Amino acid sequence: MSKKRLRISNDSDVRLNITSMMDMFTIILIFLLKSYSADPVNITPHDNLRLPYSTSETPPEEGLTIAVLKDKIVFDKMELLPINDGLIDKKFLSSDEKTIPALQKALRKELKKSEFIAQNNKNYKFKGTIIIQSDKTIPFKTLKKIMYTTGISGYSDFRFAVVSNE
Average pLDDT of the segment spanning 94-107: 91
Average pLDDT of the segment spanning 25-38: 79
What is the structure's pLDDT at 147? 92
Average pLDDT of the segment spanning 120-143: 86
| Alpha carbon distance 114, 81 (integer Å) | 24
Task: State the Cα angle at 61 between 60 and 66, rounded to 5°.
Answer: 90
What is the structure's pLDDT at 11? 53
More confident residue, 100 or 37: 100
Average pLDDT of the segment spanning 69-78: 87
| Alpha carbon distance 23, 29 (integer Å) | 10
| Alpha carbon distance 158, 147 (integer Å) | 8
CB neighbour list of residue 134: distance below 8 Å, 6 or more residues apart: 51, 52, 67, 68, 143, 160, 161
More confident residue, 50 or 100: 100
Q: Is the pLDDT of residue 83 over 60?
A: yes
User: Is 96 buried (19+), middle (13-18) or exposed (0-12) by CB count in 10 A?
Assistant: exposed
Q: Is the pLDDT of residue 84 over 60?
A: yes
Strands (DSSP E) found in the chain:
53-54, 64-68, 72-75, 78-82, 129-134, 157-160, 163-164
Q: Is the pLDDT of residue 94 over 70?
A: yes
Task: Select from 156, 66, 143 the least CA-distant residue to 103.
Answer: 66
Contact call for residues 129 and 159 (beta carbons, < 8 A): yes
Q: What is the pLDDT of residues 37-58, one digit of tens each?
A: 555 555 666 667 777 767 767 7
**Banded pLDDT at 144 (limits 50, 70, 90):** very high
Domain ranges of the chain: 2-35, 53-164
**φ, ψ for residue 127, nearest 5 deg:** -110, -25
